[in-house]
Amino acid sequence: MGRYVYDFTQGGRDMAGLLGSKGANLAEMTRLGLPVPPGFTVTTEACRAYLDTGGEPAGLWREISAHLTAVETAAGRLLGQPDDPLLLSVRSGARFSMPGMMETILDIGLNDESVLGLAKVSGNDRFAWDSYRRLLQMFGSTVMGVDSAHFERALTDLKDARGVPDDVHLTADDLAGLVATFQELIRQETGEYFPQAPAEQLRRAVLAVFESWNGERARLYRRREHIADDLGTAVNVQRMVFGNLGPDSGSGVAFTRDPATGRPGLYGDYLPDAQGEDVVAGIRNTVPLTELERLDPRSHTRLRAHMETLERHYRDLCDIEFTIERGTLWMLQTRVGKRTAEAAFAIAAELADEGLITPDETLARVGGEQLARLMFPRFDTSRTGDPLAHGLPASPGAAVGAAVFDSAEAARRASAGEKVVLVRQETTPDDLPGMIAAQAVLTSRGGKTSHAAVVARGMGKVCVCGAEELSVDIEARRFTTPDGTVVEEGTVVSVDGSTGLVYAGSVPLTDSAVIRFLENGSTDEDATGLVDAVARVLARADTVRRLEVRANADTPEDAARARRFGAQGIGLCRTEHMFLGERRKLVEAMILARDEAERAEALGALLPLQRQDFTGILEAMDGLPVTIRLIDPPLHEFLPDRTDLAVRMATAEARGALPDPRDTELLDAVNRMHEENPMLGLRGVRLGLVVPGLVAMQVRAIAEAVVRRTKAGGSPRAEIMVPLVGAVEELRIEREEVERVLAEVSQESGIAVHCPVGTMIELPRAALTAGRIAQEAEFFSFGTNDLTQTTWGFSRDDVEAAFFSAYLDKGIFTTSPFETLDRDGVGRLVRIAVDEGRAARPDLKIGVCGEHGGDPDSVHFFHTAGLDYVSCSPFRVPVARLEAGRAAL
Ligand code: ADP
Ligand code: MG
Ligand code: MG
């Protein structure tokens, strides 16, 4: 039979799923012998049962009554007893802390009679009436559904009438009057009297807390924090203690260390003569905890001792809520406290030094996203004004620069030494030079995996995307905010990629010490502790991880940086990025070639350039594997836009000029190559199979680079990767061509060039026929971006803006499958391909080179799935190292 209620003496911290984290920790403190007001917890299971059926679970009230009797017996008085009432708090508390998101009702048990008893035994009329009006207010709004604004208005009216600034100045009579007003208000609004029976108050309060799980605020919070909707909340019922009984009482919150920096030592706020809710409400000014030492040294000493007990017991930073009732200290809540990324590292290292946690636990205490946050420069948040715009925080960090509206202008100003922010509606590969030149990218459209976001993250560049409230006018070179502020080209703006906020002017920056350390091993004076903590954690991760970490890099500079960040090779070198800019004309010439000779000439011009690229990259990664992917995107991406071209020709015609014959030729080619679904069209291996000479040129460039590096005394380890294979036959034919060229170059140079040939697994068919494909492939690399697109049938460039937010709202997924690998679907294909690939070829090397390679959750999946390595952008390499280590714990 289901058991729905646990006394605080019966639970413990490992029961958070059932008792909620607040309940589990109240029980833990009780077991530790700390002074916790007695009480009991109604389980999340009871909540789920209630929410499922809409009715009170059978037997629940009987269990609650029995536990209530125990609390009453211990206190020697009854709930709401007229001459000396026991009062209760009814507190929500879910598995994952959702601060302030659900309801708490204090002072249950007061009614028209017991308020008089409370006044008498406490000797404090004002306190009794104030408690009663609080109950009416909380119960009236939370349980009975009266708009809380009504109560606040009545309170304000009373204060105005009395001419006092805050409720502390209201007298007992004032508050007794307010109680009458509130009761009348409840009756008017609901047609019902406030329930005088204490048991009924309790019963209804418990059910109302259950209901609050589905309140709008709570749902929204869960969505944002990726907390499941079906967990339910527990309800803690606890004897009230009173911080508002006079100057020898009070309430406070405290941390065992500074949650911002991790520095040891009590840290917190105290408010004399107040209930806990007043501390956070900010009605009166709190005093620092050190002040309590002067006000009540005995309680302060006890508090310190309890907090030390808690930190040693939990072996982590704890935060607590406490109340002092007439000189007696009570602990009302504790949990392992939230902290900044910096504090997370500092605390983990320090607890290890204190011998409280092992090196593995130290690693478990920090996360890749926290490390990422430490790697970016930040704004000094105390010095920002109101934001100009809100967008999606797509790539973290802080950047300041003059707003510019196209790639050319960005490049022009940047080369003159100016810092710029590239503002676009959205970006395309054409904007790449501008993105490289810019400090940050700001777009008004697109999600967190839009082109702008992905590319910016890859470059470690700040990006805010999808700032839909901005109207970006590229022609007029300005954007306009909803309140009508116009930002012209050249105006300086500050972009915070960690929060998604954009500010006018230049917000001062703080540099990241961690990035300087990772880049060149240098340590800032004021960050030795932090840098040391990061270094230790990474060293531990490197010791325990099984996954190798490679980088996605297309230039010698990126390769070198990735190597400094700890990359063990390149998992994806995209050759098409080498065809942009100046070289685009050469690709165009190749596409437009009318005969073999012209094509050979164009390819011949590309060859030395590619060879030079590969030589530089192989040099930067000397001794480590470099996986070079043969050309992947559809060729028309290298041709001008069809509409632009047509407009240009029409304009020429309108002027009476003859169209440029080259334009005519281009338009023909563009029309010929136009595809409705280019991502599913002539690209990847398909290009290599139908465009003569292209693959041969690329392979020759790779092989000749290997020869050069070998002759220069290096150890080049190029690997050749064929994209978008769906059938083993495609790979077999392509591979023959690759081997032919390698043999040719070996013969010409006298140096035997061996390059492993492998394939990307990025189509469901490739995953499903991986056993056969492995016969021709020496390695697999999962292209999880395309694999996600083709498995879900989502066009990444279209779906995010179109309906992902609706999908997230409806709970179809809690994170975009382009950010975190979809384990059930795409992950299943990955597992099939790993199993069948290895069965066919036991020494098959398997990695992943999609965006997911740097995503913490996905890295854990790849570890479990048995991959050999993950590959990600250079700036994610330390993150992947860390997470690969944590996955191996
Ligand atoms: P939250 O989850 O929003 O922090 P709590 O359940 O902690 O909500 O309750 C809010 C406040 O109510 C607490 O800060 C505490 O000061 C006060 N409170 C709760 N239970 C009691 C109690 N038994 N005695 C006195 N105050 C209480
Ligand atoms: Mg609390
Ligand atoms: Mg791909």
Ligand nearest to the CA of 320: 2
Model pLDDT, residue 280: 60
Which two structure tokens, joined as six digits, stand for 811?
Answer: 């709970």
Ligand nearest to the CA of 766: 3
**SS3 (DSSP) at 429:** helix
Amino acid at 611: R
What single-letter DSSP state applies at residue 26? H
Which two structure tokens, joined as six digits, stand for 861?
Answer: 């999946």
Distances (CA, A) of 719 to 599, 627, 697, 832: 26, 5, 16, 24
Residue by residue, DSSP assigns 115-127 as HHHHHHHHT-HHH
Residue 831: Cβ-neighbour burial (10 angstroms; 0-12, 13-18, 19+): middle
Determine the distance from the C-alpha atom of residue 247 to the mean position of all C-alpha atoms in its chain, rounded to a whole number.
44
According to CATH, the superfamily of the domain at 377-511 is Phosphohistidine domain (3.50.30.10)
What single-letter DSSP state applies at residue 338? P
Which two structure tokens, joined as six digits, stand for 681?
Answer: 């069209």
Task: Spot the catalytic one: 47, 463, 755, 849.
Answer: 849
Q: Contact 410/437 with Cβ under 8 angstroms?
A: yes
495-513 burial, b for 16+ CB within 10 Å, e for fewer? Answer: bbbbbbbbbbeebeeeebb
Task: Provide the β-strand partners of residue 252.
Answer: 270, 322
Taking CA 859 as the corner, what is the angle to CA 854 and CA 861, rounded to the nearest 5 degrees? 150
Q: State yes or no: pLDDT of 99 exceeds 80.
A: no
Distance CA 301, CA 324 (A): 13
**SS3 (DSSP) at 233:** strand
From 41, 102, 134, 321, mutation site for ligand 1 pocket: most ligand atoms within 8 A of C-beta? 321
Distances (CA, A) of 831 to 96, 822, 886: 31, 12, 21
ipTM of the shown complex: 0.95
Determine the distance from the C-alpha atom of residue 81 to the mean position of all C-alpha atoms in its chain, rounded to a whole number.
50
5-239 maps to which CATH number? 3.30.1490.20
Determine the distance from the C-alpha atom of residue 760 to the mean position of all C-alpha atoms in its chain, rounded to a whole number.
28
Amino acid at 790: T
Distance CA 122, CA 119 (A): 5
Model pLDDT, residue 511: 65
704-743 burial, b for 16+ CB within 10 Å, e for fewer? Answer: bbbbbbbeeebebbbbbbbbbbbebebbeebbeebeebbe
Q: In what order do the strands lie in the sheet with 440-443?
A: 389-390, 501-504, 492-496, 398-404, 420-424, 440-443, 462-465, 392-395
Using a 6 Å cutoff on CB, does residue 89 contact ligand 1? yes
Phi, psi of 749 (to 5 degrees): -95, -20
Atom of ligand 1 nearest to the CA of 242: 25
**Which residues surround the ion ligand 2 when the cut-off is CB under 5 Å?**
333
How many helices (H) and strands (E) are present in the chain, helices listed first?
Answer: 36, 31
According to CATH, the superfamily of the domain at 250-336 is ATP-grasp fold, B domain (3.30.470.20)
Atom of ligand 1 nearest to the CA of 238: 23
Ligand nearest to the CA of 685: 3
User: Between 3.40.50.1970, 3.60.10.10, 3.30.565.10, 3.20.20.60, what CATH number should domain 545-632+685-887 receive?
Assistant: 3.20.20.60
Residue by residue, DSSP assigns 392-422 as EEEE-SEEEEEEE-SHHHHHHHHHTT--EEE
Reading phi first (left if > 0) and then psi (alpha if -120 to 50, else beta), residue 869 is in beta
Which two structure tokens, joined as six digits, stand for 536?
Answer: 């230790």
Model pLDDT, residue 564: 96
Atom of ligand 1 nearest to the CA of 321: 14
- Among 160, 149, 158, residue whose Cα is nearest residue 181: 158
Residue by residue, DSSP assigns 578-636 as GGSGGGHHHHHHHHH--SHHHHHHHHHHHHHHHHHHHHHHHHHTTTSEEEEEPP-S-GG
Q: Would strands 328-336 and 318-325 be described as parallel, antiparallel, or unpaired?
A: antiparallel
Distance CA 853, CA 783 (A): 10
Kindly give the distance from the C-alpha atom of residue 881 to the centroid of ligand 3, in angstroms, as a whole number.
23
Task: Spot the catalytic one: 150, 306, 451, 863.
Answer: 451
Q: State yes or no: pLDDT of 33 exceeds 80.
A: yes
Which two structure tokens, joined as six digits, stand for 190?
Answer: 């609901």
Atom of ligand 1 nearest to the CA of 88: 23
More confident residue, 671 or 707: 707
Closest Cα to atom 24 of ligand 1: 240
Q: Contact 256/307 with Cβ under 8 angstroms?
A: yes
Using a 6 Å cutoff on CB, does residue 33 contact ligand 1? no
How many Cα atoms within 13 Å fall on the side-chain side of residue 433? 16
Q: How many CB atoms lie within 10 A of CB 125?
A: 18
**SS3 (DSSP) at 488:** strand
- Among 374, 255, 373, 356, residue whose Cα is nearest residue 314: 356
More confident residue, 593 or 180: 180
Distances (CA, A) of 24 to 252, 318, 645: 21, 14, 67
Distance CA 288, CA 292 (A): 8
Q: Contact 377/513 with Cβ under 8 angstroms?
A: no
Distance CA 734, CA 740 (A): 10
From 91, 130, 134, 139, mutation site for ligand 1 pocket: most ligand atoms within 8 A of C-beta? 91
Kindly give the distance from the C-alpha atom of residue 255 to the centroid of ligand 2, in angstroms, as a whole number.
13
Which H helix or E strand runs over 717? strand 717-722
Atom of ligand 1 nearest to the CA of 251: 16
Q: State yes or no: pLDDT of 338 exceeds 90.
A: no
Q: For 132-172, what is each residue's pLDDT tens digit? A: 999 999 999 999 999 989 999 999 999 999 999 888 889 99
Using a 6 Å cutoff on CB, does residue 91 contact ligand 1? yes
Q: How far apart are the first and last CA of the chain?
A: 37
Q: State yes or no: pLDDT of 277 exceeds 80.
A: no
Average pLDDT, the chain: 92
Distance CA 665, CA 678 (A): 21
Model pLDDT, residue 452: 84
- Among 426, 462, 465, 468, residue whose Cα is nearest residue 448: 465
Using a 6 Å cutoff on CB, does residue 241 contact ligand 1? yes
pLDDT confidence of 279, banded at 50, 70, 90?
A: confident
Kindly give the distance from the C-alpha atom of residue 91 to the centroid of ligand 2, in angstroms, as a whole number.
9
Kindly give the distance from the C-alpha atom of residue 332 to the centroid of ligand 1, in angstroms, as a whole number.
7
What single-letter DSSP state applies at residue 828? H
Q: Would strands 104-108 and 88-94 be described as parallel, antiparallel, or unpaired?
A: antiparallel
Q: Contact 41/66 with Cβ under 8 angstroms?
A: no
Q: Contact 845/623 with Cβ under 8 angstroms?
A: no
Kindly give the distance from the C-alpha atom of residue 491 to the centroid of ligand 2, in angstroms, as a whole number.
45
Please, what is the angle between helix 877-887 and helix 368-375, to 10°?
160
Which two structure tokens, joined as six digits, stand for 561?
Answer: 């940086």
Runs of H (alpha helix) within 123-263: 125-138, 148-162, 172-190, 198-212, 216-225
Q: For 569-625, what is each residue's pLDDT tens digit? A: 999 999 987 888 788 888 888 888 888 999 999 999 999 999 999 999 999 999 999
Closest Cα to atom 20 of ligand 1: 89
Q: For 292-315, what is each residue's pLDDT tens digit? A: 999 999 999 999 999 999 999 999
Model pLDDT, residue 396: 75
Kindly give the distance from the C-alpha atom of residue 786 to the centroid of ligand 3, in angstroms, as a whole number.
5
Residue with tokens 């998992």: 571
**Annotation marks residue 451 as catalytic:** yes
Q: For 835-874, what is each residue's pLDDT tens digit? A: 999 999 999 999 999 889 999 999 999 999 999 999 999 9
Using a 6 Å cutoff on CB, does residue 238 contact ligand 1? yes
Residues 6 or more apart whose CB falls under 8 angstroms from that of 2 comprise: 45, 46, 49, 57, 59
Model pLDDT, residue 528: 83
Q: State yes or no: pLDDT of 196 exceeds 80.
A: yes
From 34, 89, 107, 335, mutation site for ligand 1 pocket: most ligand atoms within 8 A of C-beta? 89
Q: For 718-765, what is each residue's pLDDT tens digit? A: 999 999 999 999 999 999 999 999 999 999 999 999 999 999 999 999
Kindly give the distance from the C-alpha atom of residue 802 to the centroid of ligand 3, in angstroms, as a whole number.
22
Using a 6 Å cutoff on CB, does residue 339 contact ligand 1? no
* Reported pTM: 0.80
- Among 346, 337, 333, residue whose Cα is nearest residue 316: 337
**Annotation marks residue 849 as catalytic:** yes
Model pLDDT, residue 803: 85
**SS3 (DSSP) at 550:** strand
- Among 142, 6, 109, residue whose Cα is nearest residue 63: 6
Distance CA 792, CA 825 (A): 8
Using a 6 Å cutoff on CB, does residue 250 contact ligand 1? no
More confident residue, 326 or 428: 326
Q: State yes or no: pLDDT of 1 exceeds 60.
A: no
